[in-house]
Structure 1
C-alpha cells in the first residue's frame, strides 16, 4: 500500500518530469526554427502558447520541488499554479476548437503543447490536494499577464508588423481587435473561474502537506 511519503515523492517527481519535458519540447522546437532560418527569439517566444507553457512548466517544477521537500504549498504558488492552469485551458480550447492546425510546429509538438500538457496540468490541479480553495476576490490574478501580453503584441504589430496570431493584425481594424481582445479576456476569466471552483474540490491524492492558509 502506498504511504503518504511515497505519494508525495511520486507527485513531486512526476511534476518535475512533466515540467522539464515540456521545456525540452519548447527548446527543441526553437532549435528547429533556428535551423529553418527563423532565429528571432522575440518571435518564437512571443506566442501565448509558448509563454504559458513555459510558465506552467516552471510552476510544475517548483510545485514538484515543494512536494519532494514535504513542505506546505505557499499561498502565492497556489495562485500562480491556478492562473497557469487557466491559461493552458484557454490554449487548449482555442487551438483545438477555433484555430486547429494553424501552427507551424511539427504535429507532435502541437499535440504536446495544446493537448497533453494542458490535460496533465488540469489533471494535477483536480487530483492533487496540496492547494486550498482560492478566494474569489483573487480571481483577478489571472488577468495581468494576458493584458501585458496583448499590449506588447499590439505595440509590436504597430511598429514592426509582427503578431503571433492573424486576428491581432492591426489592419483588421480597431473593432475587430477590441472584439478579439475582449473575447480573450472573457475566456481567461471563465477558465480562471473554473479553476477557482475546482480548487474547492478535495483531490483524490490528499496525503500531501496541507496548503498554507491565507491571512
Structure 2
C-alpha cells in the first residue's frame, strides 16, 4: 500500500507542478512588453490626445475605386479613413504608424497616391488628410481596429510609446463606387 501511495503522491505532485507552470506561463508578459506601446481607444469623431499625437478620425468610407487630387486612381477593395491630426510636443513629428487590424491580419496604409501616410505634423495645428487601405475582396465585414501613432524621439524607427486605436465595424461602413482622398491640408475649425 505504501508503494501505491508514493506513486499517487508523485502523480499528484507532478500534476500540481504542471498546473503551476501553466499558470505562470499565462501570467508572464510577452518579451516585448517593456517596449510595447500603451493603446488609447477612441471612437469615430472623438478627439484623443496621447503623448505626441492629437487625432480625430472624422470619417470611414469604403469604395471599389479610390482617386486623389493629382489624378492617381486604383481599383480594388478600399477602406478610406479621413482624419485630422496634430503633433503635441515635437516639431518634427510624423504619423508613422497607420495600420488596420482585421482578426489576425494587419494591413498598412497604401504608399500609392497622395495620402496622409508619414505626413509631417505640427504642434497644436491640425492637418487633414486620408489614409487608404487596400483589402482583399470580400474583407469588408466584421470588426477592425485602426492603429495610429508617432515614434518617440527623433528617430523614425524609434519605438512607439502611445498608440491610438479606433474600433471600426466594417459592416456599418458605407460602400461607394469611388472615393476621393482628401487633400493633405490645414484643418477647418
TM-score range, shorter chain: under 0.3
TM-score (norm 2): 0.23
Higher helix content, 1 or 2: 1
Higher RCO (CA 8 Å, separation ≥ 6 residues): 1
Bigger strand share: 2
**What TM-score results when the alignment is normalised by the length of structure 1?**
0.21
Larger radius of gyration: 2
